[in-house]
Structure 1
């Protein structure tokens, strides 16, 4: 009887290319290096990333957030727009922790795919690094997972994790918000990365093409415009105006109707005036082509407002001026009123 030697199998035979993973790490390192800041003790390459809590804080409180990009990735695959979804990934987490007054310190990402394309992954991580630069936080670690059979070729998933710090006495929780306060809104850059399941359905219903124009730009550019990162302008305003900034709400999934109430006491309501800001053409186009009613628009999309700020009415103009000087488009959306018994906590009138 003759013994036949079994062929020696490798990880690459099973669909995982370790060399490609190492090549990606080499591509990522200079991108991450651009995001380094004070406090980083160990970055890309170690088993764990080390960061020193800011020494200038007397009672630092760490604030963390995690998020993904959602079904906006489907369009990134279909339209081959991989360069900016990394900015979306960073924005969703750093804007979330910003609303409690936290300065983002560092960020980690998770990139999962079926078969690793070094070029595609490097484009995605390049966007992540750019988002970290815009937010002033360090990209100090992450994970690339190549999992054959889990994702179709050419597709991937993203998750991100941000950690920031705020002085305990400066945490913003909305507790001081009162009737008569003013509600300011910072303009969004577009749909950001929320509501894309409905957005994609409308695109399909309208038989829209990525090359067609909307407002003088290709639809692809308008739809895939990355989420605006508000960190540096808002931190500047917090440093200048302190406790006059009573509450912040990041307008993500749930839109204006569900996010603003998260910072309001039960007896309060934010009354927003629809004519106080100009809804960008993208949202008008979506509403028209999808036959979406106003309430659904305000609950699914940001409708042109990416961040809401509640301030004393007599300080609204000064705070708005500070934010405008930092490059933000600011609208005075409305005011805080008493909530009707059993009524909603945000109304658009």
Structure 2
């Protein structure tokens, strides 16, 4: 949970080309269970280490009239910085730019209202049950896999490559997040078979009878971060990532269609 709070902030700052500088957290509880607070704060600290930013403060509030004794609420924010000339505004994105996708670790921090309804409320699955579709892993464990933090690999790419635009695939999936980095009238063509899809998405789609378009409109479907680069920079971008031990995929290209096309 703590890692997710950091990841959602630093990855969003990153798409502007900014380096995360510092993070603050806020934890509200119905009752202060020190062992729970400890785990959350450790997650926040681990996330900050991964994102190479400082955890400079936080606040904890115990409000029994507001929250159930077993409930807690976690919020946070980060500040990042970039030289004005280095801010990625999307103004240089052009038709034919190649989309380099970095894999997600699973559901990340989005779509959990739908996940809970489909898997727990409707299908009444047990989060502790081991599922063959998930390679024998517990359902809850898979769902709570921490969100990937993309700061280190992306900043490394930015040192050498003129990345035209970036997108953090969060709530709203491909259809809402990718257009944010594009200019008016531009679109993208995504090749859905160009990257592996974690099994958890097939489980959600199966139990919820959710069609493919809606899945791509809610979830990251296996791609958590996208960079748009010139075609001639694609191979070098992937090599930089590979040298860091990062897997990446060419998942599509920028078009003039004005829409997100998934084929």
Question: Shared topology, TM-score over 0.5?
Answer: yes
Aligned equivalent of 1:82: none
1:280 equivalent in alignment to 2:194: no
Separation in 2 of the partners of 1:296 and 1:160?
29
1:220 equivalent in alignment to 2:140: yes
Aligned equivalent of 2:261: 347
Conserved 8 A contact 1:253-1:301: yes
Aligned equivalent of 1:246: 164
Deviation at 1:102, TM superposition (A): 0.7
1:325 equivalent in alignment to 2:219: no
Deviation at 1:315, TM superposition (A): 1.1
Aligned equivalent of 2:68: 152
Aligned equivalent of 1:264: 182
Superposition pairs of residues 137-176 of structure 1, within 5 angstroms: 137-176=53-92
Unmatched 5+ stretches in structure 2: none
Deviation at 1:320, TM superposition (A): 1.2
Partner deviation per Cα, 1:22-58 (whole Å, 9 max, x = no partner) = xxxxxxxxxxxxxxxxxxxxxxxxxxxxxxxxxxxxx
Aligned equivalent of 1:307: 225
Conserved 8 A contact 1:233-1:327: no
Separation in 2 of the partners of 1:263 and 1:153?
42
Aligned equivalent of 1:134: 50
Conserved 8 A contact 1:187-1:328: no
Residue aligned with 1:120, SS: helix
Which of 212, 217, 226 is the matching residue for 1:294? 212
Deviation at 1:167, TM superposition (A): 1.1
Superposition pairs of residues 182-193 of structure 1, within 5 angstroms: 182-193=98-109
Aligned equivalent of 1:124: 40
Which of 210, 229, 234 is the matching residue for 2:127? 210
Separation in 1 of the partners of 2:209 and 2:245?
34
Partner deviation per Cα, 1:37-93 (whole Å, 9 max, x = no partner) = xxxxxxxxxxxxxxxxxxxxxxxxxxxxxxxxxxxxxxxxxxxxxxxx000000000
Separation in 1 of the partners of 2:242 and 2:141?
25
Separation in 2 of the partners of 1:320 and 1:208?
39
Separation in 2 of the partners of 1:275 and 1:336?
17
Partner deviation per Cα, 1:199-221 (whole Å, 9 max, x = no partner) = 11111223222232322322122
Superposition pairs of residues 96-107 of structure 1, within 5 angstroms: 96-107=12-23
Unmatched 5+ stretches in structure 1: 1-84
Over 6 Å off, 4+ runs: none
Please, what TM-score do these two structures have when normalized by structure 1? Answer: 0.73
Residue aligned with 2:82, SS: strand
Separation in 1 of the partners of 2:183 and 2:247?
27
Deviation at 1:259, TM superposition (A): 0.2
Please, what TM-score do these two structures have when normalized by structure 2? Answer: 0.96
Separation in 2 of the partners of 1:160 and 1:331?
31
Which of 25, 46, 50 is the matching residue for 1:109? 25
Which is higher, the Rg of structure 1 or of structure 2? 1
Aligned equivalent of 1:230: 150
Deviation at 1:117, TM superposition (A): 1.3
